[in-house]
Homo-oligomer: A and B are copies of this chain.
Amino acid sequence: MITLEQCRVWDQADELAALRQQFDLPDGIIYLDGNSLGVLPRSAMSRAQDVIRREWGADLINSWNKAGWWSLPVRLGDHVAPLVGAGAGEIVVTDTASLNLFKVLANAVRIQNSRHPEKKIILAERDAFPTDLYMIQGLIELLDQGYALQLLDEPGDLATAVTEQTAVVVLSHVNYRTGYLYDMEAVTGLVHAHDALIIWDLCHSIGAVPMNLKAADADFAIGCTYKYLNGGPGAPAMLWANPRHHGALWQPLSGWWGHARPFDMSTEFVPATGIRSFLCGTQPIVSMSLIACGVDIFRQTDMQIIRSKSLRLTDLFIQLVEQECAGLDMMLITPLDHQHRGSHVSFRHPQGYAVLQALIARGVIGDYREPEVMRFGVTPLYLGYSDIWHAVQNLKAVLQDREWDQDRFRVRGLVT
Protein backbone atom coordinates (compact mmCIF):
# COMPACT_ATOMS: atom_id res chain seq x y z
CA MET A 1 0.00 0.00 0.00
CA ILE A 2 1.31 3.42 -0.99
CA THR A 3 0.30 6.17 1.43
CA LEU A 4 0.24 9.95 1.39
CA GLU A 5 2.89 9.84 4.12
CA GLN A 6 5.17 7.83 1.86
CA CYS A 7 4.65 10.39 -0.96
CA ARG A 8 5.61 13.16 1.46
CA VAL A 9 8.80 11.33 2.35
CA TRP A 10 9.66 11.10 -1.32
CA ASP A 11 8.94 14.81 -1.74
CA GLN A 12 11.32 15.59 1.11
CA ALA A 13 14.09 13.70 -0.64
CA ASP A 14 13.36 15.18 -4.09
CA GLU A 15 16.41 17.03 -5.41
CA LEU A 16 14.26 18.82 -8.03
CA ALA A 17 11.70 20.10 -5.50
CA ALA A 18 13.36 23.52 -5.18
CA LEU A 19 12.95 24.24 -8.90
CA ARG A 20 9.19 24.45 -8.44
CA GLN A 21 9.74 27.92 -6.97
CA GLN A 22 10.88 29.14 -10.37
CA PHE A 23 7.39 28.66 -11.78
CA ASP A 24 4.28 30.70 -11.17
CA LEU A 25 1.70 27.99 -10.53
CA PRO A 26 -1.93 28.86 -9.84
CA ASP A 27 -3.12 28.13 -6.30
CA GLY A 28 -5.33 25.14 -5.64
CA ILE A 29 -4.53 23.44 -8.92
CA ILE A 30 -2.72 20.21 -9.72
CA TYR A 31 -1.55 20.76 -13.28
CA LEU A 32 -1.12 17.55 -15.23
CA ASP A 33 -1.22 19.13 -18.67
CA GLY A 34 2.34 20.36 -19.11
CA ASN A 35 2.48 17.98 -22.07
CA SER A 36 0.05 20.31 -23.82
CA LEU A 37 0.93 23.78 -22.49
CA GLY A 38 3.80 24.28 -20.08
CA VAL A 39 3.44 26.57 -17.06
CA LEU A 40 4.71 30.13 -16.60
CA PRO A 41 8.35 30.53 -15.50
CA ARG A 42 8.59 33.35 -12.95
CA SER A 43 11.26 35.08 -15.04
CA ALA A 44 9.02 35.34 -18.12
CA MET A 45 7.14 38.45 -16.99
CA SER A 46 10.23 40.58 -16.44
CA ARG A 47 11.70 39.28 -19.68
CA ALA A 48 8.51 40.26 -21.53
CA GLN A 49 8.56 43.71 -19.92
CA ASP A 50 12.15 44.23 -21.00
CA VAL A 51 11.51 43.10 -24.57
CA ILE A 52 8.42 45.27 -24.86
CA ARG A 53 9.63 48.39 -23.02
CA ARG A 54 13.31 48.48 -23.96
CA GLU A 55 13.82 46.39 -27.10
CA TRP A 56 10.60 47.35 -28.88
CA GLY A 57 9.56 50.62 -27.21
CA ALA A 58 12.88 52.39 -26.66
CA ASP A 59 15.39 50.86 -29.06
CA LEU A 60 12.91 50.11 -31.83
CA ILE A 61 14.47 49.06 -35.14
CA ASN A 62 17.96 49.20 -33.63
CA SER A 63 17.12 46.04 -31.66
CA TRP A 64 17.75 43.93 -34.72
CA ASN A 65 21.43 44.53 -34.01
CA LYS A 66 21.59 45.77 -30.41
CA ALA A 67 19.27 43.22 -28.82
CA GLY A 68 20.34 40.48 -31.20
CA TRP A 69 16.93 39.82 -32.77
CA TRP A 70 18.80 38.82 -35.89
CA SER A 71 20.60 35.94 -34.19
CA LEU A 72 17.75 34.92 -31.84
CA PRO A 73 16.59 31.82 -33.81
CA VAL A 74 20.13 30.39 -33.78
CA ARG A 75 20.94 31.45 -30.20
CA LEU A 76 17.76 29.80 -28.93
CA GLY A 77 18.64 26.74 -30.99
CA ASP A 78 22.03 26.53 -29.28
CA HIS A 79 20.27 26.95 -25.93
CA VAL A 80 17.96 24.00 -26.61
CA ALA A 81 20.62 21.79 -28.21
CA PRO A 82 22.00 20.13 -25.05
CA LEU A 83 18.51 18.83 -24.22
CA VAL A 84 18.38 16.75 -27.40
CA GLY A 85 22.00 15.79 -27.93
CA ALA A 86 22.69 18.30 -30.69
CA GLY A 87 25.62 20.64 -31.14
CA ALA A 88 25.90 24.40 -31.57
CA GLY A 89 24.71 25.70 -34.93
CA GLU A 90 22.54 22.64 -35.54
CA ILE A 91 19.13 23.93 -34.41
CA VAL A 92 16.99 26.93 -35.26
CA VAL A 93 13.91 28.00 -33.33
CA THR A 94 11.39 29.41 -35.80
CA ASP A 95 7.83 29.17 -37.13
CA THR A 96 5.67 26.25 -35.98
CA ALA A 97 6.28 22.52 -35.60
CA SER A 98 3.85 21.89 -38.47
CA LEU A 99 5.73 24.22 -40.82
CA ASN A 100 9.08 22.87 -39.71
CA LEU A 101 7.91 19.36 -40.54
CA PHE A 102 6.95 20.56 -44.01
CA LYS A 103 10.44 22.00 -44.49
CA VAL A 104 12.42 18.98 -43.36
CA LEU A 105 10.12 16.57 -45.17
CA ALA A 106 10.59 18.53 -48.41
CA ASN A 107 14.34 18.37 -47.78
CA ALA A 108 14.29 14.64 -47.04
CA VAL A 109 12.17 13.88 -50.12
CA ARG A 110 14.58 15.85 -52.30
CA ILE A 111 17.62 14.04 -50.89
CA GLN A 112 15.95 10.69 -51.48
CA ASN A 113 14.80 11.68 -54.97
CA SER A 114 18.41 12.32 -55.94
CA ARG A 115 19.59 8.98 -54.53
CA HIS A 116 16.65 6.62 -54.87
CA PRO A 117 14.01 8.15 -57.14
CA GLU A 118 12.03 4.91 -57.09
CA LYS A 119 11.26 5.28 -53.38
CA LYS A 120 7.83 6.88 -53.13
CA ILE A 121 6.51 5.92 -49.71
CA ILE A 122 6.36 8.25 -46.73
CA LEU A 123 5.68 6.15 -43.66
CA ALA A 124 4.01 7.59 -40.57
CA GLU A 125 1.80 6.30 -37.79
CA ARG A 126 -1.97 6.19 -37.97
CA ASP A 127 -1.77 7.41 -34.39
CA ALA A 128 0.65 10.25 -35.22
CA PHE A 129 -0.16 13.68 -33.91
CA PRO A 130 -2.68 14.48 -36.66
CA THR A 131 -1.06 17.72 -37.83
CA ASP A 132 1.98 15.69 -38.91
CA LEU A 133 -0.21 13.58 -41.18
CA TYR A 134 -1.92 16.70 -42.53
CA MET A 135 1.37 18.38 -43.40
CA ILE A 136 2.61 15.21 -45.12
CA GLN A 137 -0.64 15.06 -47.11
CA GLY A 138 -0.26 18.73 -48.07
CA LEU A 139 3.25 18.24 -49.40
CA ILE A 140 2.34 15.03 -51.27
CA GLU A 141 -0.62 16.74 -52.93
CA LEU A 142 1.42 19.82 -53.85
CA LEU A 143 4.30 17.77 -55.26
CA ASP A 144 1.99 15.55 -57.32
CA GLN A 145 4.94 13.26 -58.05
CA GLY A 146 3.52 9.91 -57.02
CA TYR A 147 4.41 9.99 -53.34
CA ALA A 148 2.07 8.14 -51.01
CA LEU A 149 1.50 8.15 -47.27
CA GLN A 150 1.56 4.72 -45.67
CA LEU A 151 0.08 4.44 -42.19
CA LEU A 152 1.65 2.23 -39.56
CA ASP A 153 -0.89 0.67 -37.20
CA GLU A 154 1.34 -0.37 -34.32
CA PRO A 155 4.93 0.38 -33.28
CA GLY A 156 5.54 -3.37 -33.35
CA ASP A 157 4.80 -3.47 -37.08
CA LEU A 158 7.61 -1.05 -37.90
CA ALA A 159 10.22 -3.65 -38.80
CA THR A 160 8.03 -5.08 -41.53
CA ALA A 161 6.51 -1.75 -42.63
CA VAL A 162 9.83 -0.19 -43.61
CA THR A 163 10.77 -1.59 -47.01
CA GLU A 164 12.89 -0.74 -50.03
CA GLN A 165 9.98 1.47 -51.19
CA THR A 166 10.22 3.66 -48.11
CA ALA A 167 11.70 7.09 -48.79
CA VAL A 168 11.09 8.83 -45.48
CA VAL A 169 9.77 7.76 -42.08
CA VAL A 170 8.10 10.33 -39.80
CA LEU A 171 7.63 9.20 -36.19
CA SER A 172 6.69 10.83 -32.92
CA HIS A 173 9.43 10.07 -30.43
CA VAL A 174 6.68 9.94 -27.78
CA ASN A 175 3.11 9.30 -28.91
CA TYR A 176 0.78 12.17 -28.00
CA ARG A 177 -2.04 9.86 -26.96
CA THR A 178 -0.55 6.69 -25.49
CA GLY A 179 2.79 8.05 -24.30
CA TYR A 180 4.61 5.25 -26.19
CA LEU A 181 8.33 6.04 -26.50
CA TYR A 182 10.37 4.76 -29.44
CA ASP A 183 13.98 3.68 -29.08
CA MET A 184 15.44 6.46 -31.19
CA GLU A 185 18.75 4.79 -31.92
CA ALA A 186 17.36 1.36 -32.78
CA VAL A 187 14.59 2.72 -34.99
CA THR A 188 16.94 5.11 -36.77
CA GLY A 189 19.23 2.15 -37.47
CA LEU A 190 16.33 0.10 -38.81
CA VAL A 191 15.21 2.93 -41.09
CA HIS A 192 18.74 3.55 -42.37
CA ALA A 193 19.20 -0.16 -43.06
CA HIS A 194 16.50 0.28 -45.70
CA ASP A 195 18.12 3.42 -47.16
CA ALA A 196 15.27 5.51 -45.81
CA LEU A 197 15.56 8.78 -43.86
CA ILE A 198 13.95 9.47 -40.51
CA ILE A 199 12.30 12.61 -39.19
CA TRP A 200 11.65 12.60 -35.44
CA ASP A 201 8.78 14.66 -34.08
CA LEU A 202 9.95 15.59 -30.59
CA CYS A 203 6.87 17.58 -29.56
CA HIS A 204 5.98 15.19 -26.74
CA SER A 205 9.52 14.20 -25.77
CA ILE A 206 11.69 17.33 -25.79
CA GLY A 207 12.29 18.28 -22.17
CA ALA A 208 10.52 15.08 -21.10
CA VAL A 209 12.95 12.27 -21.92
CA PRO A 210 16.70 12.31 -22.54
CA MET A 211 17.73 11.79 -26.12
CA ASN A 212 20.79 12.05 -28.28
CA LEU A 213 19.96 12.92 -31.87
CA LYS A 214 23.57 12.76 -32.99
CA ALA A 215 24.44 9.51 -31.22
CA ALA A 216 21.31 8.00 -32.79
CA ASP A 217 22.46 9.43 -36.13
CA ALA A 218 18.93 10.67 -36.88
CA ASP A 219 18.35 12.73 -40.02
CA PHE A 220 15.96 15.53 -39.03
CA ALA A 221 13.92 16.52 -35.98
CA ILE A 222 11.28 19.09 -35.17
CA GLY A 223 9.53 19.90 -31.92
CA CYS A 224 7.51 22.26 -29.75
CA THR A 225 8.88 24.67 -27.18
CA TYR A 226 5.56 25.33 -25.45
CA LYS A 227 4.92 21.93 -23.88
CA TYR A 228 7.58 20.47 -21.56
CA LEU A 229 9.98 23.36 -22.24
CA ASN A 230 7.50 25.94 -20.83
CA GLY A 231 8.27 28.45 -23.59
CA GLY A 232 4.82 30.05 -23.64
CA PRO A 233 1.61 29.50 -25.61
CA GLY A 234 2.35 28.89 -29.28
CA ALA A 235 6.02 29.89 -28.96
CA PRO A 236 8.01 29.09 -32.12
CA ALA A 237 9.26 25.55 -32.67
CA MET A 238 12.69 23.94 -33.05
CA LEU A 239 14.17 22.29 -36.11
CA TRP A 240 17.31 20.16 -36.27
CA ALA A 241 19.17 18.73 -39.23
CA ASN A 242 22.06 16.30 -38.88
CA PRO A 243 25.29 18.11 -39.88
CA ARG A 244 25.81 15.13 -42.20
CA HIS A 245 23.07 16.70 -44.39
CA HIS A 246 24.36 20.26 -44.27
CA GLY A 247 25.71 19.97 -47.81
CA ALA A 248 22.25 19.02 -49.10
CA LEU A 249 19.97 21.33 -47.15
CA TRP A 250 17.06 22.72 -49.14
CA GLN A 251 13.54 23.78 -48.32
CA PRO A 252 10.85 25.49 -50.36
CA LEU A 253 9.65 28.07 -47.80
CA SER A 254 12.52 30.31 -48.87
CA GLY A 255 11.96 33.64 -47.14
CA TRP A 256 14.32 36.52 -46.50
CA TRP A 257 15.64 35.30 -43.15
CA GLY A 258 17.00 32.14 -44.80
CA HIS A 259 18.87 34.09 -47.48
CA ALA A 260 22.67 34.06 -47.47
CA ARG A 261 22.83 37.89 -47.63
CA PRO A 262 19.31 39.23 -47.09
CA PHE A 263 20.34 42.89 -47.02
CA ASP A 264 21.79 42.78 -50.51
CA MET A 265 18.10 42.85 -51.49
CA SER A 266 18.92 40.73 -54.52
CA THR A 267 16.17 39.27 -56.68
CA GLU A 268 17.58 35.72 -56.54
CA PHE A 269 17.17 33.52 -53.52
CA VAL A 270 20.54 32.19 -52.38
CA PRO A 271 20.14 30.02 -49.29
CA ALA A 272 22.26 30.62 -46.22
CA THR A 273 24.67 27.83 -45.48
CA GLY A 274 23.81 25.51 -42.64
CA ILE A 275 20.80 25.45 -40.37
CA ARG A 276 19.90 29.11 -40.98
CA SER A 277 18.55 28.07 -44.39
CA PHE A 278 15.47 26.76 -42.57
CA LEU A 279 14.47 30.25 -41.51
CA CYS A 280 11.79 31.99 -43.55
CA GLY A 281 9.92 35.16 -42.51
CA THR A 282 10.10 37.62 -39.60
CA GLN A 283 9.54 35.92 -36.24
CA PRO A 284 7.28 36.98 -33.33
CA ILE A 285 9.99 38.47 -31.14
CA VAL A 286 8.02 38.86 -27.91
CA SER A 287 6.78 35.27 -27.84
CA MET A 288 10.14 34.01 -29.02
CA SER A 289 12.11 35.86 -26.37
CA LEU A 290 10.24 34.07 -23.58
CA ILE A 291 11.41 30.64 -24.68
CA ALA A 292 14.78 31.06 -22.98
CA CYS A 293 13.06 31.55 -19.59
CA GLY A 294 11.73 28.00 -19.64
CA VAL A 295 14.87 26.43 -21.06
CA ASP A 296 17.04 28.20 -18.46
CA ILE A 297 15.41 26.15 -15.71
CA PHE A 298 16.35 22.89 -17.43
CA ARG A 299 19.95 24.01 -17.44
CA GLN A 300 19.99 23.96 -13.62
CA THR A 301 19.64 20.18 -13.64
CA ASP A 302 19.99 17.51 -16.30
CA MET A 303 17.72 15.30 -18.33
CA GLN A 304 18.82 12.08 -16.55
CA ILE A 305 17.66 13.45 -13.20
CA ILE A 306 14.42 14.66 -14.77
CA ARG A 307 13.90 11.28 -16.40
CA SER A 308 14.47 9.38 -13.20
CA LYS A 309 11.84 11.43 -11.35
CA SER A 310 9.48 11.31 -14.35
CA LEU A 311 9.47 7.52 -14.30
CA ARG A 312 8.94 7.44 -10.54
CA LEU A 313 5.98 9.83 -10.92
CA THR A 314 4.36 7.92 -13.78
CA ASP A 315 4.94 4.64 -11.96
CA LEU A 316 3.32 6.17 -8.90
CA PHE A 317 0.34 7.41 -10.91
CA ILE A 318 -0.20 3.97 -12.44
CA GLN A 319 0.21 2.15 -9.11
CA LEU A 320 -2.15 4.51 -7.30
CA VAL A 321 -4.83 4.12 -9.95
CA GLU A 322 -4.52 0.34 -9.55
CA GLN A 323 -4.61 0.66 -5.76
CA GLU A 324 -7.33 3.31 -5.40
CA CYS A 325 -9.50 2.96 -8.51
CA ALA A 326 -9.67 -0.81 -9.02
CA GLY A 327 -12.94 -1.87 -10.65
CA LEU A 328 -13.78 1.67 -11.77
CA ASP A 329 -13.23 1.11 -15.52
CA MET A 330 -9.87 2.83 -15.83
CA MET A 331 -7.88 1.14 -18.62
CA LEU A 332 -4.20 2.05 -18.90
CA ILE A 333 -3.00 2.54 -22.49
CA THR A 334 0.51 3.74 -21.65
CA PRO A 335 3.32 1.13 -21.73
CA LEU A 336 4.36 -0.26 -18.35
CA ASP A 337 7.84 -0.85 -19.74
CA HIS A 338 10.07 2.11 -18.86
CA GLN A 339 11.94 1.77 -22.14
CA HIS A 340 8.74 2.61 -23.99
CA ARG A 341 7.15 5.22 -21.74
CA GLY A 342 7.35 8.97 -22.19
CA SER A 343 6.31 11.42 -19.47
CA HIS A 344 2.55 11.20 -19.58
CA VAL A 345 0.12 8.44 -18.65
CA SER A 346 -3.17 7.84 -20.41
CA PHE A 347 -6.25 5.89 -19.50
CA ARG A 348 -9.37 5.05 -21.39
CA HIS A 349 -12.69 5.24 -19.61
CA PRO A 350 -16.13 4.85 -21.28
CA GLN A 351 -17.03 8.32 -19.95
CA GLY A 352 -13.53 9.72 -20.36
CA TYR A 353 -14.63 13.18 -21.43
CA ALA A 354 -17.07 13.73 -18.58
CA VAL A 355 -14.73 12.17 -16.00
CA LEU A 356 -12.01 14.56 -17.04
CA GLN A 357 -14.31 17.60 -16.84
CA ALA A 358 -15.39 16.56 -13.35
CA LEU A 359 -11.74 16.22 -12.39
CA ILE A 360 -10.98 19.69 -13.77
CA ALA A 361 -13.86 21.05 -11.71
CA ARG A 362 -11.96 19.71 -8.69
CA GLY A 363 -8.79 21.52 -9.76
CA VAL A 364 -6.95 18.59 -11.29
CA ILE A 365 -6.09 19.57 -14.86
CA GLY A 366 -5.48 16.84 -17.40
CA ASP A 367 -6.80 16.72 -20.93
CA TYR A 368 -8.90 14.57 -23.18
CA ARG A 369 -8.15 13.07 -26.55
CA GLU A 370 -10.41 11.00 -28.73
CA PRO A 371 -11.35 8.23 -28.29
CA GLU A 372 -12.19 8.14 -24.56
CA VAL A 373 -8.61 8.95 -23.54
CA MET A 374 -7.67 10.94 -20.44
CA ARG A 375 -4.07 12.16 -20.52
CA PHE A 376 -2.05 13.13 -17.46
CA GLY A 377 1.28 14.82 -18.09
CA VAL A 378 4.03 14.46 -15.54
CA THR A 379 6.51 17.33 -15.29
CA PRO A 380 9.25 16.70 -12.72
CA LEU A 381 10.31 20.36 -12.56
CA TYR A 382 7.12 21.44 -10.84
CA LEU A 383 5.22 18.34 -9.72
CA GLY A 384 5.81 16.32 -6.59
CA TYR A 385 4.81 12.86 -5.38
CA SER A 386 2.05 14.21 -3.13
CA ASP A 387 0.55 16.00 -6.13
CA ILE A 388 0.12 12.62 -7.79
CA TRP A 389 -1.45 11.22 -4.63
CA HIS A 390 -4.01 14.03 -4.48
CA ALA A 391 -4.72 13.81 -8.20
CA VAL A 392 -5.58 10.13 -7.91
CA GLN A 393 -7.67 10.72 -4.77
CA ASN A 394 -9.72 13.24 -6.74
CA LEU A 395 -10.04 10.81 -9.63
CA LYS A 396 -11.22 8.13 -7.22
CA ALA A 397 -13.89 10.46 -5.82
CA VAL A 398 -15.12 11.39 -9.31
CA LEU A 399 -15.39 7.74 -10.27
CA GLN A 400 -16.75 6.27 -7.03
CA ASP A 401 -19.40 8.93 -6.55
CA ARG A 402 -20.14 9.14 -10.31
CA GLU A 403 -19.54 12.87 -10.12
CA TRP A 404 -19.01 12.81 -13.88
CA ASP A 405 -22.66 11.89 -14.42
CA GLN A 406 -23.89 15.47 -14.82
CA ASP A 407 -24.89 17.31 -17.97
CA ARG A 408 -22.45 20.15 -17.30
CA PHE A 409 -19.53 17.76 -17.67
CA ARG A 410 -20.70 16.56 -21.07
CA VAL A 411 -20.68 19.98 -22.77
CA ARG A 412 -17.81 20.15 -25.23
CA GLY A 413 -15.71 23.30 -25.50
CA LEU A 414 -14.55 24.59 -28.86
CA VAL A 415 -11.18 23.15 -27.98
CA THR A 416 -11.15 19.84 -26.11
Give residues in A with beta carbon < 8 Å to B. 24, 26, 29, 31, 33, 36-37, 39-40, 44-45, 48-49, 52-53, 55-65, 69-71, 95-99, 102, 106, 126, 128, 130-131, 133-135, 137-139, 141-145, 151, 177, 224, 226, 232-237, 251-256, 258-259, 262-269, 280-288, 290, 360, 365, 367, 369-370, 413-416
A44: B residues at CB distance < 8 A: 52
Q: Which of B141, B234, B365 contacts A282 (CB 8 A)?
A: B234
Q: How far is the CA of A71 from the CA of B232 in the complex (A)?
A: 18
Residue of B nearest to A137 (CB): B269
Q: How far is the CA of A60 from the CA of B364 in the complex (A)?
A: 12
Q: Can you list 6 pairs linking A and B with CB atoms under 8 Å apart?
A: A24-B53, A64-B415, A96-B281, A99-B281, A142-B143, A265-B369
Say yes or no: A134-B269 contact (C-beta < 8 A), given A234-B285, A415-B70.
yes
Q: Which of B57, B142, B267, B285 contacts A142 (CB 8 A)?
A: B142
Is A61's CB under 8 angstroms from B37's CB? yes
Q: Which of B58, B266, B284 contacts A130 (CB 8 A)?
A: B266
Number of copies: 2
Distance (whole angstroms) from the CB of A175 to the closest CB of chain B: 12
Is B253's CB under 8 angstroms from A99's CB? yes
Q: How far is the CA of A280 from the CA of B281 in the complex (A)?
A: 15
Residue of B nearest to A259 (CB): B134
Q: How far is the CA of A125 from the CA of B284 in the complex (A)?
A: 27
Q: Which of B131, B141, B416 contacts A256 (CB 8 A)?
A: B131
Q: How far is the CA of A192 from the CA of B233 in the complex (A)?
A: 42
Q: How far is the CA of A1 from the CA of B122 in the complex (A)?
A: 71
Say yes or no: A33-B61 contact (C-beta < 8 A), given A70-B414, A96-B282.
yes
Distance (whole angstroms) from the CB of A76 to the closest CB of chain B: 13
Q: How far is the CA of A64 from the CA of B416 in the complex (A)?
A: 9
Known contacts A98-B256, A135-B254, A232-B285, then 10 further A-B pairs from the complex at CB < 8 Å, ordered by chain A residue: A26-B59, A36-B61, A48-B286, A52-B232, A56-B232, A69-B233, A96-B255, A142-B142, A234-B285, A284-B286
Is B134's CB under 8 angstroms from A99's CB? no
Say yes or no: A52-B48 contact (C-beta < 8 A), given A234-B285, A252-B139.
yes
Q: Which of B128, B137, B269, B282 contacts A268 (CB 8 A)?
A: B137
Q: How far is the CA of A52 from the CA of B130 in the complex (A)?
A: 28
Q: How far is the CA of A413 from the CA of B65 in the complex (A)?
A: 6
Residue of B nearest to A68 (CB): B414
Is B286's CB under 8 angstroms from A290's CB? yes
A264: B residues at CB distance < 8 A: 370
Q: How far is the CA of A284 from the CA of B33 in the complex (A)?
A: 19
A135: B residues at CB distance < 8 A: 253-255
A143: B residues at CB distance < 8 A: 142-143
Is A65's CB under 8 angstroms from B414's CB? yes
Is A106's CB under 8 angstroms from B142's CB? yes
